[in-house]
Amino acid sequence: MRPIVIAANWKMNTTPADAGELAGTIASRTQAPGVTRVICPPFVCLAAVRDAVAGRGVEVGAQDVHHELAGAYTGEVSVPMLAGLATWVILGHSERRAYAGETDELIGRKLDRAVAGGLRPILCVGEVLAEREAGREVEVVGAQLRGALDGRDPQALAAAGLVIAYEPVWAIGTGRNARGADAAAMATAIRTSLAALGWESAAAEVPVLYGGSVTSTNIEEFLAEPGVDGALVGGASLKPDEIAGICARAALTAAARGLAS
């Protein structure tokens, strides 16, 4: 059975001085049986967030990681450096694709490193507005999945707990969210793409999240779709009231799907 995951992507917000307090507040206000909660702060805030949520059922993730283990890569952070700090990692976020020039091929190499190092990856995919307006969103997302996953062992990725986040670029940080039906259609298309890559039955087991202007108000629309397993939340994840509302709704879904213990 697929888990319900609510992952907070804090992006380039918070400092080591304030991240722990925010994470602690979120941990106490989002208790949600059956919901896997993950906070992904900036690298420099990982230790503060780890300490603040220790023993409180909230997991910690990085927002990116380098594809090499060590070496002359000024400013970068590798998988071994995250040991003891994070157990999840976001890969291929559209902001990294756009501002750091990340390609599907590079994202695939990061995926290998993350999985080998025991990190649970959230692989982000999604089309830009012109691609959706041209009706090419399934083709674009399919190509992103192929580019990052082709030739890799589906069983190993499934065993590593790979999560796919569908984040239409036009919905990220814009206040213009996709419709629940759009997310559901893409979740089906993603699993079809995985099946075509040889995932077979594992394709049905991969959690697919929606991301892009998720709020406590619109989360219901996404979680009402049986193929959607949670959300990757940016802006709203910095607001305790918002993320508490999102997790409360997710707990209802977890109960309805028989996940709450």
Question: Which part of the chain contacts ligand PGA (CB under 6 A), choosing from 45-53, 72-80, 114-122, 208-216?
Answer: 208-216
**Nearer CB in complex with ligand PGA: 129/195:** 129
234 binds ligand PGA (CB under 6 A): yes
Torsion angle (degrees, nearest 10) of CA 211, 217, 220, 223: 20
Question: Which part of the chain contacts ligand PGA (CB under 6 A), choosing from 13-21, 75-83, 102-110, 228-236?
Answer: 228-236
Amino acid identity of 29? R
**Nearer CB in complex with ligand PGA: 125/259:** 125
Residue 11 CB, nearest approach to ligand PGA (Å)? 7
34 binds ligand PGA (CB under 6 A): no
Q: Which residues 56-75 are close enough to bind ligand PGA by CB under 6 A?
A: none
Integer Cα distance of 104 and 117 in angstroms: 20
Which residues have a catalytic role annotated? 93, 167
Instruction: Tell which one of 173, 176, 196, 226 touches ligand PGA (CB under 6 A).
Output: 173
Token couple for 24: 């602690």
Among candidate residues 200, 112, 92, the one with its CA nearest the CA of residue 152 = 112
CA 190, chain centre distance (Å)? 15
Residue 128 CB, nearest approach to ligand PGA (Å)? 13
In 2-125, beta strands by DSSP E: 4-9, 35-40, 58-62, 88-91, 120-125
Among candidate residues 63, 8, 1, 2, the one with its CA nearest the CA of residue 30 = 8
Instruction: Tell which one of 61, 212, 230, 245 touches ligand PGA (CB under 6 A).
Output: 212
**Nearer CB in complex with ligand PGA: 34/234:** 234
218 binds ligand PGA (CB under 6 A): no
**Nearer CB in complex with ligand PGA: 6/82:** 6
233 binds ligand PGA (CB under 6 A): yes
Strands 208-211 vs 230-233: parallel, antiparallel or unpaired: parallel
The β-bridge partners of 88 are: 61, 120
